[in-house]
Amino acid sequence: MREKFDLQERFIDFAVCVLKLCEALPKTFAGQHIASQLIRSATSTASNYGESQGAESRADFVHKLGVALKEMRESHVWLRIIAKAGMLEKPEKLQPVLQEANELASILFAGVSTAKRNIASKRNPPSPENPAQNPEEL
């Protein structure tokens, strides 16, 4: 268990785990292609999340976090392809990586959704002319 929640470290750990997993893929054309794509998307997720932390604006933050989410979803798809194709000699090693990809995608999705909501609420704050509406009234 982690004592301190450090999301950047978690993305880096995921990328390192994927690097090691890709070393176990077969040295075939398909194995090398998938390894290359998976390494690109998994490492991109970590770097895009890091970039989002230094965003120049809220919109830039949402954009970079959104790119990280797209890359994580791509990583998850490549991992599922590896599983369905039976490309690993020890397929049990894949399940924790798939689970982590799913969890990280959920975290990124929540972050993007929250940031977009916050931006929208800053643009349209409640006022006497524009009161906050109850979602049930819509």
pLDDT tens for 82-116 read 999 999 999 899 999 999 999 999 999 999 999 99
pLDDT digits (tens, 9 = 90+) for 29-66: 999 999 999 999 999 999 999 999 999 999 999 999 99
Give pTM, 2 decimals.
0.82
Write down all domains in the chain, each with its CATH number in brackets: 7-122 (1.20.1440.60)
How far is 113 from 105, CA to CA, in rounded Å?
12
* Predicted local confidence at residue 118, as pLDDT: 86
- Residue with more model confidence, 126 or 36: 36
- The pLDDT of residue 123 is 73
